[in-house]
Amino acid sequence: MYAITDPILVQSAYCNKHLSFTPFAVSGAQKVTGFDDAYHQVLMQTNVLPEYFKSIYDGTTAQHIHQLNVTSLKHVSKHINSIGGDGMDAANTYLWLRNLMTVATCEALYGPDNPIRSDELVEDVWTFETGLPYLFFHIFNSKTLRRTKEARRRLQLALGKWCSTMKQDDEQVSAYIRNRVGILRGYGVEGQKLGDIEVGLIHVPTSNSIPTLFWFFIHVFTRPNLVVQMRAEVEPIAERGPGHVVTINVDDILERCPLLISAYREASRICNGFTCNRIALEDTTITDRHDRSYLLKKGASVKMPAGVMHASEDIWGEDAAAFRADRFLDKGLTSEQAKLRRAAFTPFGGGAHMCPGRNFATAEIYGFMTALLLGYNVEPLDGNWDTYKPPPMATCPQVTSVCKPEDEASVCGTRLTRRNGWEAAQWRFISGEVIE
């Protein structure tokens, strides 16, 4: 086994076509979904896997991502638009964000008949996600393993029922889902079998982006001076229209809000412990910044832990453990230092293997946070950020990328009230040419 923690070597490995994720995908999928040996043979003896992965990338091109952004943020806007003059209390900040964004994401993916809408199934998504290490690494814990498999089965049944009735030409369903289901149907996978397999990807668009949103939310709103700065940055992109409608164009955030994006990346740097796994399909080499080459032997496992690079003082400075909102603005860095930091920041992978849904994950967060910054006072339930203590961060299991709060059930609550001048605002979002 090889472990790579030098940023330039990591980028060289990401771009190496002889280092493959596919062997992990096949073995991991069977452990996680529990699909039978017959389907395993389909994976191994047909062209379904490369077609399946291609369908994912085809379903996350720019136009499809714009549609996902708007559909997800439409669900978010319904929630925050409903906050009236009395405000809203969320008893547990993490669970509030988790549940809201799980449904919003699934609405965008599965369309108006989204099967993951009930409180019970949303909870099952996270029970299943928490138990993934027990499935993946065959860790025996009778209670946890039983709860994980029970949650998985309920999700599989709900997804199987939905897949059985999904029409392949239904454009209200995301191309990300339609493409994958279409590939599997082409290889004879139908009905409940589709749901059994689909559960293996249900955690992908939620398990990392939602905890990242939580830490971003906490890092920003616990710093009143930062909130003032970020409000000043995002206010010019808000377009007020008739009927108190306030329109936010996600593209404007990307182009005109560098501090918000830097703060998001900084929160992601601190909470993201992604470990990229590859297998060397043949003897191959990777090259460092000094043009030194290193041999990786055929059949060896290659691990690239982003958490090591994200925490490195050599890369980020002596304050690497601290949150600094403007760190990614590259102020005062040499071109070589800036290049090294770009190479070291890999929450979504790198090279040809970057997460295809990364722009959806970030747009959801940017849009939601922009609306919260502009329209709402965000305070802890006791009204005092000075005495608020952020929850400890749990360790990050290998099967997910982002650390969650150590004790999710004990996270403090949040109170949202309308800001002066924004009392009647009704939020609407645009992404690309797609309008809510």
Q: For residue 296, report the phi and psi dihedrals to the nearest 5 degrees.
A: -115, 125
The pLDDT tens digits for 68-110 are 999 999 999 999 999 999 999 999 999 999 999 999 999 999 9
Per-residue burial over 389-404, b = 16 or more CB atoms within 10 Å of its CB, e = otherwise: eebebeebbebbbbbb
Q: What is the pTM of this model?
A: 0.96
Better pLDDT: 333 or 382: 333
Domain ranges for the chain, please list them: 2-435
The pLDDT tens digits for 316-329 are 999 999 999 999 99
Residue 352, pLDDT score: 67
Residue 29, pLDDT score: 85
Thinking of the domain 2-435, which architecture would CATH place it in?
Orthogonal Bundle (1.10)
Sequence-separated (6 or more) residues with CB below 8 Å from residue 219: 263, 266, 267, 270, 323, 325
Contact in structure between 366 and 261 (CB atoms under 8 Å)? yes
Average pLDDT, the chain: 94
Structure tokens, 404: 């969650």
- For residue 277, the tally of other CB atoms under 10 A from its CB is 16
Contact in structure between 179 and 58 (CB atoms under 8 Å)? yes
The pLDDT tens digits for 369-423 are 999 999 999 999 988 888 888 899 998 877 888 999 999 999 999 999 999 999 9
Q: Residue with structure tokens 């949303």?
A: 122
Contact in structure between 227 and 370 (CB atoms under 8 Å)? no
The pLDDT tens digits for 172-231 are 999 999 999 999 999 999 999 999 999 998 989 999 999 999 999 999 999 999 999 999
In this predicted structure, the answer to whether residue 259 has a pLDDT above a threshold of 90 is yes
The pLDDT tens digits for 147-176 are 999 999 999 999 999 999 999 999 999 999
Instruction: Provide the pLDDT confidence category of residue 347 given band limits of 50, 70 and 90.
Output: very high
Instruction: Provide the pLDDT confidence category of residue 266 given band limits of 50, 70 and 90.
Output: very high
In this predicted structure, the answer to whether residue 351 has a pLDDT above a threshold of 80 is no
Structure tokens, 58: 């085809």
Structure tokens, 310: 């994200």
Contact in structure between 230 and 259 (CB atoms under 8 Å)? yes
State the Rg of the chain over Cα: 22
Amino acid found at 417: T
For residues 206, 208, 213, 219, the Cα torsion angle rounded to the nearest 10 degrees is 160
Residue 185, pLDDT score: 96
- DSSP secondary structure code for residue 328 in this structure: G
* Separation of alpha carbons 415 and 403, rounded Å: 24
Of 355, 305, 396, 77, the residue nearest 204 (C-alpha): 355
Sequence-separated (6 or more) residues with CB below 8 Å from residue 137: none
Residue 232, pLDDT score: 99
Q: What is the mean pLDDT of residues 347-357?
A: 82
In this predicted structure, the answer to whether residue 436 has a pLDDT above a threshold of 80 is no
